Structure 1
Amino acid sequence: MKAWVLEGFGLKNLKKLDVPVPKPGARDVLVRVSAVSLNYRDKMVVEGTYNPDLPFPMTQVADTVGDVVEIGIGVSRFRVGDRVISNYATRWIDGPPAVDEVVHTLGNTIHGGLAEYLLLNEDALVHSPTYLTDEEASTLPVGALTAWHALVKNGGLTASQTILVQGTGGVSIFGLQLAAAAGARVIVTSSSDEKLERAKQLGAKDLINYVRTPEWHKEALKVTEQQGVDQILEVAAGRSLGQSIETIRPGGKIAVIGILDGFTSEIPIFPMLQRQVTIRGMVTGSRKMFEEMNEELEKSQIRPVIDTVYSFPDALEAYDHLYRGAFGKIVIRVRP
């Protein structure tokens, strides 16, 4: 089979190769891959900042959808023909995460889905929502589930809340869609007026261009009449985390889901104490959360926002697009 394999750090070392089709062992499921979607994490893996000890060669990409074509002895959760999606944290089934449950991920310690076939233990898969296309379903494991975990499971999302999402990448756009569908007020920040206008069409009420307004937290306080916001999807970290603390309503929650501005932050302690803010790191979610989210998606019929779909041979162009940034998700169609 064909697979995009990382043989060393750097995009020049991501190569399309011929590799053997894996054979299912006990409780394994062989999936014929239909589509994958990219995340900022995939860029970090290639660059060596996500896992400096990455074993080579390693087939890339975590977010995968496809059809079950073969099952191993003891598989009980799936049958041949089922359409399935990979869970990012492959060993996180339910409950709070253990130390290693977000370590065992595709394209990192386990061969990923940017290949014609993917082999996973049945515990690492969920059934796909029926109403989504393959391309749409491939966007759920990181983008949708992280937003769901942050806003719904941890944040108790309601129509009375005000939500601030940073940027217009995959998690942020899912967060916007989930919050808007719940009837919440949504504030979106971006460096692009064009992207902000598109966010408005998805239900955003307040738009802040942080290039023109570097002190964006002051604008967010202004539009909320100095009350602050209930929840923030913090994708930047760095200096931005301090601004988020200044923006949050007393008792509010900040979900730190990205590190676009760096691996460290200096934060204002006194405002954090005054606001009694909860700051929590988020790495997607458990399989049970994924299944619960998919049930709700079937009811709400939210359709993921896809920026561009690339063909399997054009995977490097998809990565180039990832490096430039996207509105929503970048997808690679694996099956012609």
Structure 2
Amino acid sequence: MRSYVISHYGGVDGLRLRETDAAPAPATGQVLVRLRAASLNFRDLIILAGGYQQLCKPDLVPCSDGAGEVVAVGEGVQRVCVGDHVALTFHPHWIAGERPLGRTILGRGGSVDGTLSEYASVSEEELVKVPAHLSFEEAATLPCAALTAWSALCAQGVLLPGQRVLVQGSGGVSVFALQLAMLFGAEVVALSSSAERLEHLRLLGADHLIDYRVHEDWHRQVLDCTEGEGVDVTVEVGGGETIERSVQSTRIGGRISVVGLLSGSPALSEGFFYRGLSVNTIGVGSREQFEQMNRAIALHRLKPVIDRVFSFEQVPEAFTHLKQRKHVGKVVIRID
């Protein structure tokens, strides 16, 4: 069995391909999954760099997102059968309700081994059946980015048809937020930094496009295209450098869902309080929310946007591609 492990922290150079004996037969309540694809998130780059080193398990198999097929089940397993196509949940112990504190806080690919492996032996409680119309590569994009976007839109409040959503950039969470917002019948304002990526977002259905390199005070353009009111929900991925413009872009009484800190932790201004906004920090989501999202994806036959697929031998190149931040949608590893 082949797996990638982090031999030392500091970047992509710390990845090592390890070969071990065949995966053991699953114990009672356990399931053996033959992983067929994994997808990358920016948190994986942070982990490789050593950002959460003190919280990570030794010899960590990185990456939180993966999908494959069930090849063996242990005694007592009832939720899945051999042959089922499944994805692994981000939080192994978060089934429903509020997120349990103090348990595998970093989730898969941090506190517990991740998905850059040919096989994974996990509890049956850590699996979700994936929509039948998706390939393994497409299904592997769902556990973190898609569920984070879903939670940002509707976990902390109701998103109604005709309401407005602001998405930032063309990464995995932002693209999923655009696609899922359209399923709700929302009007979408999309930011990006190039005409090419904005065109991708237009083709995906964005109603309003803003180049934030051209319009540094992009909140003014957001207000212009929302009749001066602002959006109902902002999916905030930037962090410290963008939070104030997000505040100004969001209508009085609206919501800001913070899902990323690409430019550091945000500090809230007086404007946030004057506008009566609510801020929700999004920690991906529970298995129950994952299953709810999958029903919506299956009903509408939504197809995740994949920027590029790399082979299992090209994992370092895939991380380098992600680091360049020129992708639209998800970067995926095919595990043959």
Q: Answer whether contact 2:36 2:67 (CA < 8 A) is retained.
A: yes
Q: Which residue of 1 aligns with 2:280?
A: 280
How big is the shift at 1:102?
A: 5.8
Report the count of equivalent residues: 333
- Alignment partner of 1:3: what SS? strand
Q: CA–CA distance in 1 between the matches of 2:2 and 2:118?
A: 6
Structure 1: which 5+ residue stretches go unaligned? none
Q: Which residue of 1 aligns with 2:204?
A: 202
Q: Which of 221, 228, 231 does residue 230 from structure 2 map onto? A: 228
Alpha-carbon distance change, 243 to 101 in structure 1, aligned in 2, over 3 angstroms = farther
How big is the shift at 1:121?
A: 1.0
Q: Which residue of 2 aligns with 1:17?
A: 18
Q: CA–CA distance in 2 between the matches of 1:265 and 1:68?
A: 42
Q: CA–CA distance in 1 between the matches of 2:253 and 2:295?
A: 29
Q: Which residue of 2 aligns with 1:319?
A: 319
Q: CA–CA distance in 2 between the matches of 1:237 and 1:183?
A: 27
How big is the shift at 1:101?
A: 4.7
Q: Which residue of 2 aligns with 1:303?
A: 303
Residues 74-85 of structure 1 correspond to what in structure 2 (within 5 A)? 74-85=76-87
Moved more, 274-283 or 152-161: 152-161
Structure 2: which 5+ residue stretches go unaligned? none
Q: Answer whether contact 2:156 2:280 (CA < 8 A) is retained.
A: no
Q: CA–CA distance in 1 between the matches of 2:223 and 2:166?
A: 11
Q: Over aligned residue pairs, what C-alpha RMSD do you find?
A: 1.3
Q: Answer whether contact 1:165 1:176 (CA < 8 A) is retained.
A: yes
Q: Answer whether contact 1:8 1:56 (CA < 8 A) is retained.
A: no
Q: CA–CA distance in 1 between the matches of 2:106 and 2:80?
A: 21
Deviations 1:189-216 (Å, cap 9, x if unpaired)?
A: 1111110111011111111111111111
Q: Which residue of 2 aligns with 1:112?
A: 114
Q: Which residue of 2 aligns with 1:173?
A: 175
Residues 1-336 of structure 1 correspond to what in structure 2 (within 5 A)? 1-9=1-9, 10-23=11-24, 24-101=26-103, 103=105, 105-262=107-264, 264-269=265-270, 271-325=271-325, 326-335=327-336
Q: Answer whether contact 2:32 2:120 (CA < 8 A) is retained.
A: yes
- Alignment partner of 1:188: what SS? strand
Deviations 1:122-171 (Å, cap 9, x if unpaired)?
A: 11110111011111100000111111111123232222211000111001
Q: Answer whether contact 1:155 1:231 (CA < 8 A) is retained.
A: no
State the TM-score, normalized to the length of structure 2: 0.96
Query: How many percent of aligned residue pairs carry the same amino acid?
Result: 39
Moved more, 239-248 or 136-145: 239-248
State the TM-score, normalized to the length of structure 1: 0.96
